[in-house]
Structure 1
């Protein structure tokens, strides 16, 4: 059976930096690494909103990007 371990978490702020020819928003992503893996979603949202307020571009969304390591679980019988 596989075992998972949280490895890292990134707070991503997605801003609209213009408009594409087809009318879709052009997205600029700002990544903030080294976020503690047990940070609460409400805290990440509050921090993301505060950071986004520092930019002149409109906020599209705030995302949490997690990396998880998957390993084989040791059975202890080896």
Structure 2
């Protein structure tokens, strides 16, 4: 049987920059590494919203990416 261990978490903020010359929506993503792997999703979301409030552009999505190590138990 295999066992999964969360070894890394990152926070991603996707925000809206506006439109380009052709009217296409432009987005940018900012990454914050070294997020505690045991942090609750609600806490990650709260931090993302707080960081987003410091940006001049509106945050449209908050992502959390976890990297897991899978080993044989």
Q: Which TM-score band applies after superposition, normalised by the shorter structure?
A: 0.7 to 0.9
Identify unmatched segments of 5+ residues in structure 1.
74-78
How far off is 1:22 after superposition? 6.6
Partner of 1:76: none
Partner of 2:64: 64
Identify unmatched segments of 5+ residues in structure 2.
none
Query: What TM-score comes out, normalization by structure 2 length?
Result: 0.85
Would you tell me which structure has more strand in proportion to its own residues?
2
Question: CA-atom RMSD, angstroms?
Answer: 1.5
2:26 and 2:50 map into 1 onto residues whose CA distance is: 22
Query: What TM-score comes out, normalization by structure 1 length?
Result: 0.80
How far off is 1:9 after superposition? 0.4
Aligned residues: 72
Partner of 1:7: 7
1:26 and 1:38 map into 2 onto residues whose CA distance is: 33
